[in-house]
Amino acid sequence: MKTAELFALSCDFGGYLCNAEAPQREALRQYGTALGIAYQLYDDCLDLLGTESVAGKTLGADLAEGKMTLPILIARDSATTPEREQLHHWFSHWTPSFLPDTMALLQKHNALTQSRQAIQTYLVAARKALSTLPDTDGRAALNGLTQFLAQQIEALGVI
């Protein structure tokens, strides 16, 4: 994932600029990777559940572009054959009018709840990577980012 690599590289480079030792830089890289994945998954859910003013884009934009996001993959993998065919049709001929039916399919297969659980798993991994670093204000700030993202996930509502 591009987002995860960008976050990982940014964290690693920050460690490099602070003359961190290799194990600390690796911990920062692991943190960045986990936080980047969590953020990307959050963005995938935001595209479906957010508001256009918060998302900064039209809801369903990822669907319109044919992006197979985690919620869609989860629903597809647990859907019946007719549901998979319907999902394929929606992707092939996307219009915003398909969004309510798409959301109903995601709800039916708990795709949004499972996506939220995946985000939480990555946030836990990010915090674990930080736990190996010295207890500093910088570490607390990075941990604060994980807490902020967790709050944003909750703000999306029951997903």
DSSP structural state of residue 131: T
- d(C-alpha 146, C-alpha 140), whole Å: 10
Burial (CB count <10 Å: 0-12, 13-18, 19+), residue 121? middle
- d(C-alpha 63, C-alpha 70), whole Å: 12
What is the residue range of 23's domain? 2-155
The pLDDT score that the predictor gives to residue 159 is 41
Tokens 């500093």 identify what position?
136
- Chunked into runs of 10 residues, the chain (159 residues) has average pLDDT values of 91 92 96 97 86 65 87 95 94 89 94 94 97 94 96 74
- d(C-alpha 94, C-alpha 120), whole Å: 30
Instruction: Check: CB of residue 25 under 8 Å from CB of residue 15.
Output: yes
- d(C-alpha 113, C-alpha 109), whole Å: 9
- d(C-alpha 112, C-alpha 12), whole Å: 31
In degrees, rounded to 5, the angle at the alpha carbon of residue 149 between the alpha carbons of residues 45 and 43 is: 25
CATH number where 110 lies: 1.10.600.10
The pLDDT score that the predictor gives to residue 83 is 96
What string of DSSP letters covers 41-82? HHHHHHHHHS-HHHHSS-TTHHHHTT---HHHHHHHHHS-HH
Burial (CB count <10 Å: 0-12, 13-18, 19+), residue 21? exposed
The pLDDT score that the predictor gives to residue 155 is 81
The residue length of the chain stands at: 159
Number of compact structural domains in the chain = 1
